[in-house]
Amino acid sequence: MPDRELPEHIRRQLSAGLDGGAPLVAPLPSQARFATLRGPMPAPRWRLRGLTVAVAAAGIVIVALAGPPQPRQWLVQSVNGISKQVGLPAGSSSPSPSHSESTPGEQGTSNESPEASETPEANESPEANESPEAGESPGEEQEQPDTSPTAEPSDGGGGGDDHSPEPSPSLGD
């Protein structure tokens, strides 16, 4: 579909309005406003910024991977210091990092483990009996007090009623 055309006198009127109102004084490209920005092009600025970021990132990676392991040394030194304060030799403690990194409060609770023999509860354990005849089970000891570790073997089996066995700490309860 053809578009409408303006009559010739209307075209002249349009051209007169546009040309007369805005006389065409085109400045030279060297006089244009953009010519004042011609020093550095934007692209090199972008490249410079990208290059700076790339160099910085590479430096961080190199320091992180190839530099001295400062955080690990600090960790080993601090663990050794803590173990010395507790009194354990540095090599005797468990090599597991969980033990070496435990706080002194946690180490106090580890002293209350069943391996300590002072607590009464620990004496009730079979490991608390130190006699070589302690191969019998604890249940048998409670049912047969004569066979307590404190009884002399030379007394014979019938003398058990004459003297009451010494109340050993394990039978006191």
Partner 1 sequence: MGAEGEATGAASRPGNRDDFDRLYRENYPRLLRTLYAITGDAAAAEDCVQEAFVKAWRAWPRFRPERAPEGWLHQIAVNTAISYRRRAKLRSVGEILRRLGRPGAGSDPGDAVTRSDVVIALAALPPRVAADFVLRYHHGYNNREIARLEGVSERTVGARLAQARDELSRRLGPDWRGELPTSGTAGVHFPRERSGVSDA
Residues that bind partner 1 (CB under 8 A): 1-7, 9-11, 13-24, 26, 29, 32-34, 37-38, 41-43
Q: For the CB of residue 12, give the shortest distance to partner 1 in the complex, in Å.
A: 11
Q: For the CB of residue 45, give the shortest distance to partner 1 in the complex, in Å.
A: 10
Q: For the CB of residue 19, give the shortest distance to partner 1 in the complex, in Å.
A: 8
Could you give the 3-state DSSP secondary structure of residue 122?
helix
The residue (of 7 and 71) whose beta carbon lies closer to partner 1 is: 7
**Comparing C-alpha atoms, which of 35, 33, 15, 31 is closest to residue 23?**
15
The pair phi, psi for residue 104, each rounded to 5°, is: -60, -35
The residue (of 30 and 113) whose beta carbon lies closer to partner 1 is: 30
The residue (of 31 and 70) whose beta carbon lies closer to partner 1 is: 31
The residue (of 3 and 121) whose beta carbon lies closer to partner 1 is: 3
The residue (of 21 and 91) whose beta carbon lies closer to partner 1 is: 21
Rounded Cα distance between 82 and 76, Å, is 10
Q: For the CB of residue 55, give the shortest distance to partner 1 in the complex, in Å.
A: 22
Rounded Cα distance between 117 and 170, Å, is 12
- Residue 149, judged by CB atoms within 10 A of its CB (0-12, 13-18, 19+), counts as middle
Q: For the CB of residue 40, give the shortest distance to partner 1 in the complex, in Å.
A: 11
Largest CA distance in the chain: 150
Q: Which of the 8 DSSP states describes residue 4?
A: P
Name, in order, each residue with C-beta under 8 angstroms of 77's C-beta and a sequence gap of 6 or more. Answer: none
